[in-house]
Amino acid sequence: MAQAASSATNVASLTVVFGGDEYLNSRTLKALQQAAVRANPEAEVIEVEASSADSYEFDEAVSPSLLSNAAVVVIPDLQDAAEEFIDAMKVFVKETSGSKSGALADSSVVIAAHDGSMKGKKYVDALKKAGAKVEQVEKLANDRSRLAFVRQEFRRYGRTVQEPAAQQLVAVLGGRTAELAAMCQQLCFDFDENPISLATAMRYLDDAPEVTGFAVADAALEGRAAQAVLKLRQAIKRGMEPLALVGAIASKLRSMGKAAAIQAGKANAAELRMNGWFLTKATQQVRGWSSEGLGACIEALAHADQEAKSSSGDPVFALEQAVELIARRGRPLVA
């Protein structure tokens, strides 16, 4: 994970924040900007958009002004820069990176962000060759990296989190990194316990739509059909969209299907990208199920999905039917 510079000795004259998760890219850019300002509180902060600026505007931004001898120049869209703009940046970094310990004390500091796409990637390579520092931002592409991120977020606040709580945060908020980070921060600010437990995390997560869907699915999977239908109706009354409920319940069945495939030797956890905790839980839930029963429930949910997307459908009735079928493990009603 990219870390922001924290003192004058490690603030480079030109730093490129490259790629990774969009939220983390933006957060790293901001952290580097704050570090540069701490290193030189008198510096003026100037934002330059590479998509519309030319080399003269860049040169003006990094040059001394009436307000300050130095500036912290922030460029949020390096990938959109023109060639001449990059040439000016290369000249700047060659002239100012004369100290191995970082930027010269009386010079401006430039912090640029690149979104990690192929567009303008050659610029990053050219600037690095000229002497720029490149901060590679992590891409949270799977649950393993998101779990590592959650643990790291709690460590930022001097706290830890129980593994089931971390797993649930990831299961609920998934790839919404900004929300995941905000939830970790909020839990640390609002609760004193250490580590943060699953019960504590669920006090906030219960208000999330996905958790409502998971609660419905869990009740159904435990065979509690009446309670599952009641939770379903309560969720609808609270304004939850049937389509979101379908998605949450379907995610449970997909995990069970993967666990069944692993048990049957048709695949392994690495191929299906299932971490240990999710696999253990899904394996427990799929016990006693037949492949036919699981298939019937998936078909029922697919029907509910179609009903939810149709203007003339009845998604609530279809969902209730699917939930009751799940509670029977896919077995038909006996007359």
Q: What is the pLDDT of residues 16-65, one digit of tens each?
A: 999 988 889 988 998 898 898 888 888 888 989 988 889 899 999 888 87
Of 130, 120, 123, 117, nearest to 12 by C-alpha is 130
Which residues span the domain enclosing 201? 143-205
Domain C-terminal end among 136, 169, 184? 136
- Of 155, 177, 205, which one is at a domain's C-terminal end? 205
Question: CA 297, 299, 305, 311 torsion: positive or negative?
Answer: negative
Measured CA to CA, the distance from residue 248 to residue 217 in angstroms comes to: 8
pLDDT digits (tens, 9 = 90+) for 127-172: 999 999 999 998 898 888 999 999 999 999 999 999 999 998 988 7
Would 2 be classed as within a structural domain?
A: no
Whole-number percent of the chain with pLDDT over 90? 36
Helix (H, G, I), strand (E, B) or coil at 298: helix
List the alpha helices (DSSP H) in 40-120: 55-62, 83-96
Return the higher-pLDDT residue of 292 and 103: 292
Q: Is the pLDDT of residue 265 over 90?
A: no
d(CA 229, CA 224): 9
Q: How confident is the model at residue 98 (pLDDT cuts 50, 70, 90)?
A: low
**1 lies in some domain:** no
pLDDT at position 2: 33
Determine contact, residues 92/66, Cβ cutoff 8 Å.
no
Q: Of 205, 220, 241, which closes a domain?
A: 205
Which of the given ranges, 194-198, 244-248, 254-258, 265-269, has the highest pLDDT on average? 194-198
Residues 18 and 131 occupy one common structural domain: yes
Residues 262 and 269 sit within 8 Å (Cβ to Cβ)? yes
Q: Is this prediction's pTM over 0.85?
A: no
The pLDDT assigned to 104 comes to 47
Do 161 and 59 share a structural domain?
Answer: no
Q: Are 186 and 246 in a shared domain?
A: no
Domain at 153, CATH number:
1.10.8
Write the CATH number for 302. 1.20.272.10
d(CA 105, CA 39): 9
